[in-house]
Amino acid sequence: MPPVAAAKQPDIEYHPNVEKWKARIARRLAEDPSLPNNALPDGFPKKLESPLVWEGKDWKGEDQWVYNLSEEQLKEIDDAVKHFRGLDKPLGHLSPSTFPLPTLGPILSDLSRELYSGRGFFVLRTIPVDSYTREENVIIYAGVSSHIGSLRGVQDVEAGVLAHIKDLTDTHPTKVIGAPAYTTDKQVYHTDVGDIIALFALETAADGGASRISSSWRVYNELAETRPDLIRTLSEPWPFDRFDDTYDPRPLLYFHDGKAIIQYARRSFTGFLGLPRSKGIPPITEAQAEALDTIHFLAEKYQLGLNFQKGDIQYINNLSIFHGRDGFTDTPDKRRHLLRLWLRDEEKAWKIPEGLQPLWKRLFYTANIDEHRFPLDPEIRAGSKGAKY
pLDDT, residue 388, reads 31
* CB count in 10 Å sphere of residue 69: 20
The whole-number pLDDT of residue 170 equals: 80
Q: How far is CA 19 from the centre of its chain?
A: 26
- The whole-angstrom separation of Cα 283 and Cα 240 is 10
pLDDT at 31: 98
DSSP 21: H
Give burial (CB, 10 Å; 0-12/13-18/19+) of 299: buried
DSSP 287-298: HHHHHHHHHHHH
- Do 150 and 375 meet the contact criterion of CB atoms below 8 Å apart? no
Pairing label, strands 66-68, 121-125: parallel
Q: 45: how many CB neighbours lie within 10 A of its CB?
A: 14
Q: How far apart are CA 247 and CA 210, in angstroms?
A: 32
List CB contacts of 17: < 8 A, sequence separation 6 or more: 293
Residue-by-residue pLDDT tens, the chain, 389 positions: 434 456 899 999 999 999 999 999 999 999 999 999 999 999 999 999 999 999 999 999 999 999 999 999 999 999 999 999 999 999 999 999 999 999 999 999 999 999 999 999 999 999 999 999 999 999 999 999 999 999 999 999 899 999 999 988 887 776 666 667 788 888 999 999 999 999 999 999 999 999 999 999 999 999 999 999 999 999 999 999 998 899 999 999 999 999 999 999 999 999 987 788 998 899 999 999 999 999 999 999 999 999 899 999 999 999 999 999 999 999 999 999 999 999 999 999 999 999 999 999 999 999 999 999 999 999 875 555 443 32
Q: For residue 166, list its beta bridge partners.
A: 337
Assess contact for 302 and 219: CB atoms under 8 A: yes
179, 325 contact by CB (below 8 A): no
Nearest to 267 by CA among 386, 387, 121, 156: 386
pLDDT at 380: 72
Amino acid 87: pLDDT: 98
**Alpha carbon distance 287, 268 (integer Å):** 16
The per-residue pLDDT for 251 is 98
pLDDT of residue 386: 44
CB 302 within 8 A of CB 55: yes
